[in-house]
């Protein structure tokens, strides 16, 4: 079984796309999806798939403008996840290829901390693309763990640092491996609550992609799902 961990809240459009990307995953094993929603109005969750179970956690107090509750929410999700779980972090506003869960499941058979290198970020509002050069660490949205890797994730979350992924991948204890494939794109600039990482506002430096050609090259026909958000800045 894989256990997915998703912190979310106040991002209904992003959440709807996240459900869509998970619904088509090719991974055939059982999945438990732990969804931590701290929005004052809960997301309408319509996801149903045979072999998948959903656990909704509603931590309090609810998120308010300019709060950073990521660590709190991840801790709330981890509190209901057993030590023996194989955990995949799924971020609500990112794009995932259909074989993402299948890929990380295979990678976790080898080592307890895995992630995709050379992270790709794309701001759909500004139409700006950037590919990072990270080789030895992964974005949190492209990370999975078990055993010692899961223990390291718990330690990283407990430190309440701003960038949990960097803290996690600096932990010297778990064996780790990064892999290529570009099955994840960090999507920025969707409506609703703003994220804390690079690129959520006007701070993403990269290649201007006004025609959307880079996005289509990265996500294929799924680029059409982001077309309504081009030139539209989020409101929170």
Domains of the chain as residue ranges with CATH = 2-229 (3.90.550.10)
The series of mean pLDDT values per 10 residues for the chain, 236 residues long, is 97 97 98 97 95 97 91 98 98 97 98 98 94 96 98 97 94 98 96 69 80 97 96 54
pLDDT of residue 201: 55
Spatial CA neighbour of 80 closest among 41, 46, 42, 36: 36
pLDDT of residue 94: 97
Taking CA atoms, 101 is separated from 55, 90, 160, 209, 219, in Å, by 18, 10, 27, 29, 16
Phi-psi region of 200 (alpha: psi -120 to 50; beta: other; left: phi over 0): alpha
């Amino acid at each position: 079984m894989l256990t997915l961990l998703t912190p979310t809240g106040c991002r209904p459009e992003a959440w709807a796309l996240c459900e869509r990307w998970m619904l088509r995953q090719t991974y055939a094993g059982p999945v438990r999806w732990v969804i931590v929603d701290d929005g004052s109005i809960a997301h309408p969750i319509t996801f149903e798939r045979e072999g998948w179970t959903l656990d909704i956690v509603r931590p309090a107090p609810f998120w308010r403008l300019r709060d950073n509750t990521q660590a709190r929410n991840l801790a709330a999700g981890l509190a209901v996840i057993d030590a023996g779980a194989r955990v995949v972090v799924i971020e609500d506003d990112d794009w995932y290829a259909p074989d993402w869960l299948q890929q990380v499941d295979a990678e976790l058979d080898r080592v307890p901390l895995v992630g995709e290198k050379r992270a790709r970020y794309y701001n759909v509002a500004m139409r700006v693309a950037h590919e990072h050069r990270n080789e030895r660490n992964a974005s949190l949205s492209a990370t999975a763990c078990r055993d010692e890797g899961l223990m390291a994730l718990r330690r990283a979350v407990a430190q309440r640092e701003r960038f949990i992924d960097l803290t996690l991948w600096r932990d010297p204890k778990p064996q780790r491996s990064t892999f290529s494939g570009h099955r994840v794109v960090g999507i920025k600039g969707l409506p609703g609550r703003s994220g804390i990482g690079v690129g959520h506002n006007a701070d993403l430096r990269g290649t201007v992609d006004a025609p959307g050609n880079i996005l289509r090259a990265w996500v294929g026909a799924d680029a059409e799902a982001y077309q309504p958000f081009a030139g539209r800045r989020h409101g929170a």
